[in-house]
Amino acid sequence: MAHCCAAIYFMNIRGDILIERRYRDDVERDMAENFRTQILNSKGESASLQTPVRTLGSCTFMYLRHADLYILMVTRNNANVMMAFKFMTSLVDLLRSYFEGALNESSVKRNFVLIYELLDETMDYGFPQLTEPAALKSFILQKGVRSELDAASSTQQARNATLTVTGAVSWRRPGLKYSSNEVFLDIVEEVNLLLSSTGAVLRNDVAGKVLMKCKLSDMPELRLGLNEALEDVTFHQCVNLGAYEQSKVVTFIPPDGEFELMRYRTSEGINVPFKVIPVVKELGRTRLEANVSVRSLFGAKMFALNTVVLVPVPDYTAKCNIVVTSGKAKYDATKKAIVWKIKRFSGACEHNLRAEVSMVSTTKERKPWPRPPISMSFQVPMFSASGLRVMYLKITERRQGPAYSVEKWVRKVCKSGDFQVRI
């Protein structure tokens, strides 16, 4: 059935229990101890070699790792596994938003009372209840933020807030006030590319998300027009899906603060920001020659930041003579690669790397070099690999009408995901 778990644990990497919240009594603390001794610290296999769902006896463990923490769910039933993992990621998001991004062992230790409070509200008897940060923040207050205010007024505020938690618009509470209304909209795209050694495209897709930060008073309705209808797209729960199906306009009443409005993915009509042409030749047993040329395919007015190209070389490399037309390149023995960094890569231009690699000579027979792929990472501001553009962002507030003015900011950035070229 659709319950998630009988207990939730937070552990550090050694497996020490930081938080224990049991929702049902069919699991005991020993289970978590077993998890530590038999899964986390088992000999030979470290936790990184374990699948995220494990069983010991009739007990199932589902866990994920975040920073230096394990979040672990234990159940004896046939739980809804997808819900369990989604709940754990929602919990991570929730705690991160409480701790301003830093969810780790020390922040858990510092705030364990708060976490217990949240665990109490987010789940009851193994069934998820409410995980929306905006709604929870209105009545579970982080120590140090609100409790130093006048105790009486803050309790009063909390009491009022509770009344709205379970209302229809659970993600936003009414009566918000800002002196100036501001909306920030970021389109963040990750482009994945895999080219074969002959230059054929093996995989090419873009995974994007639209992140928003709203500082808006009252109950505004936002309408976001995009230049194309996306095929594979999912939205935050605040978005009116019916309206999108009909008119392809994203209509929503936003939560307060930062949130992820939508995610999308496309594999058609992608603008690839870079073209990489590698020629890597092995000359006998001790020499290797690599020529890599990288050309930027975006407009001359744009530029890429922090471009790094990793050109792999064999393990037993002794020396590299490298010449580059731009940036800096050097051999990094730990990465087994030549690391070529270009701080600022202008649009519509080409840079080359030429390297002569000499290897240590031995009499022993060597295994052939597996020729791992060249990989590349970069950030291109204001570039959209999917071609997605914001046509308009309209904001209306029913009560204030035309008097409601908002400052709008739109940014775009294209990052490298898995960007690889086989050689």
Pick out residues in 77-116 that bind other proteins (CB under 8 A). Answer: 77-83, 85-89, 112-113, 116
Distance CA 52, CA 34 (A): 16
- Segment lying near other proteins (by CB under 8 A), choices 25-33, 274-282, 316-324, 339-347: 25-33
The DSSP-derived string for 256-280 is SEEEEEEEEEE-SS---SEEEEEEE
Our finding on whether 149 is near other proteins (CB under 8 A) is: no
- Provide the terminal-to-terminal Cα distance of the chain, rounded to the nearest Å: 49
Our finding on whether 311 is near other proteins (CB under 8 A) is: no
- Which CB atom, from 216 or from 239, has the smaller least distance to other proteins? 239
**Candidate residues 163, 305, 323, 391; the one interacting with other proteins per rule CB under 8 A:** 163
> Which of 20, 8, 27 is closest to 92 using CA atoms?
8
Our finding on whether 191 is near other proteins (CB under 8 A) is: no
What's the closest the beta carbon of residue 105 comes to other proteins, in angstroms? 13
Our finding on whether 43 is near other proteins (CB under 8 A) is: no
- Segment lying near other proteins (by CB under 8 A), choices 71-79, 340-348, 382-390, 398-406: 71-79
The DSSP-derived string for 278-299 is EEEEEETTTEEEEEEEEEE-S-
What's the closest the beta carbon of residue 26 comes to other proteins, in angstroms? 5
Torsion of CA 238, 242, 245, 250, to 10 degrees: -30
Asked whether 221 and 397 are in contact (CB, 8 A), the reply is yes
**Candidate residues 370, 401, 402, 403; the one interacting with other proteins per rule CB under 8 A:** 370
- Which CB atom, from 7 or from 216, has the smaller least distance to other proteins? 7
Q: Cα Rg for the chain, rounded, in angstroms? A: 26
Residues in the chain: 423
Considering only residues 196-235, where is the footprint of other proteins by CB under 8 A? 202-203, 205, 207, 231-235
- Which CB atom, from 38 or from 237, has the smaller least distance to other proteins? 237
C-beta atoms surrounding 256 within 10 Å: 19
- Which CB atom, from 213 or from 263, has the smaller least distance to other proteins? 263
Considering only residues 113-142, where is the footprint of other proteins by CB under 8 A? 113, 116-117, 120, 124-125, 127-132, 139
In this structure, what are the phi and psi dihedrals at residue 369, rounded to the nearest 5 degrees?
Answer: -75, 130
Kindly state the DSSP code that residue 142 receives in the 8-state scheme. P
- Which CB atom, from 162 or from 405, has the smaller least distance to other proteins? 162
- Which CB atom, from 128 or from 220, has the smaller least distance to other proteins? 128
What's the closest the beta carbon of residue 49 comes to other proteins, in angstroms? 7
Asked whether 40 and 70 are in contact (CB, 8 A), the reply is yes
**Candidate residues 241, 279, 300, 348; the one interacting with other proteins per rule CB under 8 A:** 241
The residue count for binding other proteins (CB under 8 A) is 97
Residue 8 CA, distance from chain mean position: 23
What's the closest the beta carbon of residue 137 comes to other proteins, in angstroms? 14
In this structure, what are the phi and psi dihedrals at residue 246, rounded to the nearest 5 degrees?
Answer: -75, -55
- Segment lying near other proteins (by CB under 8 A), choices 56-64, 280-288, 292-300, 338-346: 56-64
What's the closest the beta carbon of residue 274 comes to other proteins, in angstroms? 17
What is the SS3 assignment for 163?
coil
Considering only residues 251-290, where is the footprint of other proteins by CB under 8 A? 260, 262-263, 265
- Which CB atom, from 68 or from 260, has the smaller least distance to other proteins? 260
125: left (phi over 0), alpha (psi -120 to 50) or beta: left
Our finding on whether 47 is near other proteins (CB under 8 A) is: no
Strand partners, 288: 282, 357
**Candidate residues 47, 165, 219, 390; the one interacting with other proteins per rule CB under 8 A:** 165
Angle made by CA atoms 343, 213, 225, in degrees to the nearest 5: 95
**Candidate residues 37, 38, 42, 55; the one interacting with other proteins per rule CB under 8 A:** 55
Angle made by CA atoms 93, 98, 102, in degrees to the nearest 5: 75
Residue 244 CA, distance from chain mean position: 25
